[in-house]
Amino acid sequence: MSPTRRSVAMAIAGVLAAAALGACGESPNANRNNGGAATVLNIGMPNGPQTENHNPFLESSSASILGYRWQIYEPLALANVIRPADKPKPWLAQEYSWSADLKTLTVTAREGAKWSDGTAFSAEDIAFTYDLIGKTPAINRFALPIVSATATGNQASIVFERPQFVNEARILRDIAIVPKHLWSQIPDPSTDIIKNPVGTGPYTLKTFTPQTTTLSVRTEGYWQQLPQVKELRFTSYNDNNAQTTALANGESEWSFVFIPNYKTVYIDKDPENNKIFPAPVIGIHGLYINTTVKPFDDPVLRRAMNMVINRNDIFEQAAAGYFHPEITSVTGIPTPAGDPYIAPEFKGQTHKVDVEGAKALLTGAGYKLEGTTLKDKSGKPVKIKLTDPAPWSDYITSLEIVKDNLSQIGIEATLDKATQDAWQKSIEEGTFEASFRWTNGGATPYDMYQTIMDGNLLKPVGQAAQNGNFGRFDSPEATAALEAYANATDDAARTTAMNTLQKIFVEQMPMIPVGADNAGGAYNVKNWVGWPSAEDPYAPAQPTQPNAVDVILHLKPAGA
């Protein structure tokens, strides 16, 4: 899961964007001027101007980055990442069941569902979608071992090579079902931008501009009661500051964005209406290191870097003391949520900054610290480029802290403030050196470790890895432990595999953990009520999650 995130331009760009919106008649203040109950919901993300792409299988598409793919397309079921013990709620699946060995998923297609072009939805569409993913590695984000997907009557059967204990939520929640009658005509589903998207969801595409994508509610054919929100406007603001300002003044009503000094900057601007729900999950954020780049292929160097990175400074300064709670366990597992999974040998072991210890570790391994310069075993100065999208202020601040921390052991770090597109490409293709990024989250630490260490997701540098092992960490032992955990039939076997994963992670440090993830969001209750909250956590409050469609369906005009 993780979460999909946030982008920079000059202030004049924001002014021009606002003017363009006004010229199009799609003012973000529409609800304020209509004199009656709200009909429009303004959703924002700080990701900068977008290129039109409505492909739900591509994480780099505008539909994915802004989150509107989940209002057009729908999954089989909705798993709640903030309540992972809950059974996923049937959605396009009328019902579903797993075989005893967890290798076969049987799905009954939702009765009465129709595609937005009027064609009836069927089990054939379900089977087609999973077969397409199984046969197209470029869109198989989770490397699902799909053997076959077939349909008989109103039921689809998806067979997997291995038990899918750890992938159930992904299989049910994170795959958009697409229409066979249209997608079977697409030559390459990994590159097509899907100019005219057709889904089973409650909304259809109305207009697209680089700044704003507008969806209109369907008038007929939706399988359940239509949402009361008649129009969704997804605006991509230039950066975190622009998005925060829009939230604070009510122009934007829902977002997932880092807000520095959130109480003063956001809550106190309108305490009655401005709300925040930072729902925690077992997933992490940290510094991915490209292990194919020398000398960072050396675990000793990576461990030394971990020893000097000040996680508390990053939490207090970059995460504003709330957004990503500091990870203290040496295993990288967030606590207290992950306490039951921490191996006995690492219980109570917490990360502490130890500059002198890091220096001793390095010199003992053949590195030399000459003045303020660390030289590797070949005598070359150790340098590293840290990169993240310029608009993501929390990540940029994190990298600035890391840069300073690394200088204490003689590593010269430079900061590359990239565009989001360039950053995404470098991460997926493995051409970066180090970058802050998130992991997937789940009911156990398996998902975070898989994102970092799974050899089944390993791609050669230059070939896109969409959903994991961005640092190209090549550890057959870690891959075997992940597979053992996924295929285990009892808790004892899973515990053994999880303990192995922790040991590999601690000893080889393929990614330096810093903060825990959250699937929350900021929203405004002036026009719309029914949002998820700590009191009613029916879904994560994040507009880019699959559950966002459920959130929209819960909303009602304030005062109605």
Q: What is the DSSP string of 167-215?
A: GHHHHHHS-----HHHHTT-S-TTT---SS---SSSEEEEEE-SSEEEE
Q: What is the pLDDT of residue 5?
A: 41
Q: For residue 6, what pLDDT is reported?
A: 38
Q: Does the model's pTM come out above 0.85?
A: no
- pLDDT at position 489 is 78
Determine the Cα–Cα distance for residues 434 and 448; give it in Å rounded to an integer. 18
Reduced 3-state DSSP string for 289-344 = ECCCCCCCCCHHHHHHHHHHCCHHHHHHHHCCCCCCCECCECCCCCCCCCHHHCCH
Q: For position 494, what pLDDT does the model report? A: 93
From residue 299, how far is each of 201, 239, 428, 510 by CA, in Å? 47, 35, 22, 7
Give pLDDT tens digits for 161-190.
Answer: 988 988 898 999 999 999 999 999 999 999
Question: pLDDT for 135-149, tens place per residue?
Answer: 999 999 888 999 999
Residue 13 has pLDDT above 70, yes or no: no
What's the rounded Cα separation, in Å, for the pair 373 and 530?
56
Q: What is the pLDDT of residue 31?
A: 60
List Cβ neighbours of 491 (8 Å cut-off, separation of 6 or more): none
Please report the pLDDT score of residue 505 as a whole number: 98
The C-alpha atoms of residue 319 and residue 314 are separated, in whole angstroms, by 6
The answer to whether residue 12 scores a pLDDT higher than 60 is no
253, pLDDT greater than 60:
yes
Residues 82-111, mean pLDDT to the nearest whole number: 93
Summarize the confidence of residues 468-488 as an average pLDDT: 96
How confident is the model over 202-220, as a mean pLDDT?
Answer: 97
Q: CA–CA separation, 378 vs 370, rounded Å?
A: 14
Q: Which of 80-84, 346-350, 375-379, 454-458 has the lowest mean pLDDT?
A: 80-84
Residue 258 pLDDT: 87
Q: What is the mean pLDDT of residues 117-142?
A: 96
pLDDT, average across residues 109-126: 98
Kindly state the percentage of the chain with pLDDT values over 70: 94
* Rounded distance between C-alpha atoms, residue 535 and residue 81, angstroms: 16
Q: What is the mean pLDDT of the chain?
A: 91
The answer to which of 11-20, 66-75, 119-128, 226-235 has the lowest mean pLDDT is: 11-20
Average pLDDT (344-371) is 97
At residue 22, the pLDDT reads 34
Token match 């990288």: residue? 332
Q: Is the pLDDT of residue 21 over 60?
A: no
